[in-house]
Structure 1
């Protein structure tokens, strides 16, 4: 599979030893951490985007199926960046569905927050919005796997950009009791994005639920609000 080998070689050439040493700490790859066992060769995201742009129209889904399971993080992220390009460049509904099916079949390899956040809303979120069918995201939101649950909430980013907020709010409430901080950061981030487009929607949601949501989620959600309003939420004065 020459395209796969060419991509790996291109990434190897772009690898930076200092980054390869730093990334495992940043992405928490130590024993018991959320990225345990992940391997990095030290390629920056802009460089991976350049490689993805060069190869997206030269590689098949079958070949991507060889690249995505790699133990090397940059191989997986580049494969997902390629997949985003392929999805965005086609208007063929059959091809789009093939990409969706491929993505869902390989979720076990989309196993860190950057892999999820870079790909899911541009593929799954857009597909669900354009087909006015939220079932794919709803199924992921019910998963026991944290990364799939994160795909669901982050997948609603496309809906937020189109000023549809109900799915985001539904998933945020569903995640209230999740044990991992990464989920609460995702919830807060998406609520904040909702507020940037429609502050009233965010305030109405917070007024009902801010005492239930975690401190992490709340801090992320209110980050762009006026300081006095932020402090009122943080101090329970609403």
Structure 2
């Protein structure tokens, strides 16, 4: 283990909170047959992980990040992704950005819980796809059989939504509208809600076409910010 990796792991270990270590496995569904099965936790809060990432991101290389991101401990993986985000956002060198994207795509198997996906995908892969017109990077993931890949794709379009571009979000939500897992229903609804925050008329138009076939969780997330009367109209199928 390199000196920098040892320092990072020791820094996280010192920040471990036993109560959190006991709580997180239940919160992130690590039981037999659950989506986070087998994941291990140190019990470090996200703000503390951000502090560690801020301290070390400029000192660690991608080879070392690969080792950290391959760890069985959840906080090691999230901290690695936080450092990867900083490396991507702080550089103006296109070659470095290309390298970060290649690294991200080569380590998807370790980006395997909703917080790991949601924290990293739109800030790295979504932004890169938008700025380089490489939507197919996200499309390929949206077509994948793996749920985390699909979630990376749709949440990755958050960067597009923030820029006022909605077509890719609608494409992926529609493509996976009937996915069997609740975590996809939540992701789809969340992105639709964010789309509505930018342009409510676009959301209403989409809802009017698809709301009757949406999973209930997806619909509830999507309409959360609408006026209560309109929300009730959708929930009770009056539109």
State the partner residue of 2:84: 83
Deviations for 1:18-77, whole angstroms, at most 9, x for unmatched residues? 000000000000001000000001000000000000000000001101110100000000
Task: Count residues in correspondence.
Answer: 238
Spell out, residue by residue over 1:113-166, the C-alpha distance to the aligned partner (whole angstroms, 9 max, x if none). 000000000000000000122010000001111001100000000000000000
Q: Is 1:179 aligned with 2:165?
A: no
Partner SS for 1:39: coil
Task: Give the aligned partner of residue 123 of structure 1.
Answer: 124
Q: In structure 2, what is the equivalent of residue 55 of structure 1?
A: 56
Counterparts of 1:74 and 1:196, CA distance in 2: 31
Q: Which residue is 1:147 aligned to?
A: 148
| Misfit runs of 4+, over 6 Å | none
Question: Secondary structure of 1:81's partner?
Answer: helix
TM value normalised by structure 2: 0.99
1:3 shift after superposition: 1.0
Q: Please give the alpha-carbon distance, in whole angstroms, between the structure 2 residues aligned to 1:90 and 1:189.
A: 30
1:39 aligned partner: 40
User: How many Å apart are 1:213 and its aligned residue?
Assistant: 1.0
RMSD between aligned residues: 0.5
Query: What TM-score, normalized to structure 1?
Result: 0.99
Task: Give distance in 1, aligned partners of 2:222 and 2:3.
Answer: 45
Q: For 2:153 and 2:4, how far apart are their aligned partners in 1?
A: 31
- Distance in 1 between residues matched to 2:165 and 2:112, nearest whole Å: 27
Q: CA deviation at 1:97?
A: 0.5
| Aligned counterparts of 1:177 and 1:236: Cα–Cα separation in 2 | 18
**1:16 corresponding residue in structure 2:** 17
1:88 CA displacement? 0.3
Please list every run of 5 or more consecutive structure 1 residues that lacks an aligned counterpart in the other structure.
none
Structure 2 residues without counterparts, runs of 5 or longer: none
> Once the 2 structures are TM-superposed, how far is the Cα of residue 198 of structure 1 from its aligned partner?
0.5
> Equivalent residue of 2:213, what SS?
coil
Separation in structure 1 between the aligned mates of residue 200 and residue 3 of structure 2, nearest angstrom: 50
Q: 1:190-233 CA distances to partner (integer Å, 9 max, x unpaired)? A: 00000001000100000111011110100000000000000000
Counterpart-to-counterpart distance in 1, 2:68 and 2:174:
35
1:188 Cα offset (Å): 0.1
* Distance in 1 (alpha carbons) for counterparts of 2:27 and 2:231: 28
Partners of 1:20 and 1:133 lie apart in 2 by 39
Task: Give me the whole-angstrom Cα distance separating, in 1, the residues matched to 2:58 and 2:92.
Answer: 14
Structure 1 CA distance, aligned partners of 2:120 and 2:17? 24
